[in-house]
Amino acid sequence: MRRVTLKQLRALASAVHSGTISGGAQALNVTPPAVALQMRLLEETAGVPLVERTADGLRPTDGGSELLAAAARIELALTECGEALDALRSIDGGRVSVGVVSTAKYFAPRALAAFAKIHPKVEIRLQVGNREETISALQNYDLDFAVMGRPLEDSAVEKTVIGDHPHIIVGPADHPLARRRRIALTDLADETFLLREQGSGTRLLMQRLFAAAGLSPTLGMEIGSNETIKQAVMAGLGIALISAHTVSAELSDGRLAAFNVEGLPIVRKWLVVRQSNKRLLPAAQALWDFFSTSGAKFLPDTPPTKRRSARVR
């Protein structure tokens, strides 16, 4: 049945529905010989008679009924496909796949919730991972775009800034350094630093910070999430370089302390990033624009600082 065409099925359905070949031709706005030809080709492919002529008009045989049922399913599938394409062409429909690096989960879900209130019919798929995982998903076109810090420098990407992303060093609230008004990076040489897993952008940033200063900090546990790092710091297992956006609540209620380290905070940028040749459908474009213009509203409050921010590439 691979040679069966939609034109043949529609010719059969129209002729049976009207009861005559001429009636079917009129409904399809073609000539009767054209309908007769399509029905004959379909019958040759099927290998069985498809219609019989009765006093009441054309009537489908068992073989014809099978093909008519198949034609009805095909027409339904095409109708549903058309409706889905209409939704994809609309801002108020379709699906969007968004990647979020784990540090961005402290603000990105609130931005997504605000967008969903404006466009409730858009289906959003959220994927959370570290920087390495998110970049891989972008390169494999598993995502429409991602919310992250620094993408791969050698990748052909389009990016837009959401807002500032400061990084600070935190320790337990009762740590002796928490009371110091000025701390040199060298003063932290004897401290144990907790660090994120390989592939994390925060870990890479810490390594670059100390490499630029010619220091080799004492490394403690490798921890796979910011939440666990915060708990470990509060428990006194070490200190950590971490996104200020991930510890806003703990700093506010005194469970953690931000150290006044010279040159900090390191201020990066939150970005929305996509492959340059990735074409966004209207719903995805609307969400991209929302993050670009309104995403900064959802960034957590960070502790004020009068020190000059560090720039680490």
Q: Which amino acid is at 147?
A: V
Tell me the per-residue pLDDT of 281-309, one tens digit each, with 9 for 90 and over: 889 999 999 999 999 999 998 765 444 44
Please report which confidence band the pLDDT of residue 246 belongs to, taking 50, 70 and 90 as the band edges. very high
Measuring CA to CA, which residue among 130, 124, 102, 103 is closest to residue 112? 124
Backbone angles phi, psi at 239, to 5 degrees: -115, 175
CA–centroid distance for 169 within its chain: 30
Distance (Å, rounded) from C-alpha 238 to C-alpha 220?
A: 7
Identify residue 206 by its one-letter amino acid code. M
pTM above 0.75, yes or no: no
Average pLDDT, the chain: 90
CB atoms within 10 A of CB 127: 14
What is the average per-residue pLDDT within 256-266? 93
State mean pLDDT over 90-108. Answer: 89
Looking at residues 141-170, what average pLDDT do you find? 89
Contact 197, 228 (CB under 8 A): no
Domains of the chain, start order: 6-88 (1.10.10.10), 95-162+269-298 (3.40.190.10), 166-268 (3.40.190.10)
Q: Is the pLDDT of residue 99 over 90?
A: yes
The band of 198, judged by pLDDT with boundaries at 50, 70 and 90, is confident
Across residues 54-60, what is the average pLDDT?
92
Contact 43, 50 (CB under 8 A): yes
Does residue 81 have a pLDDT over 90? Answer: no
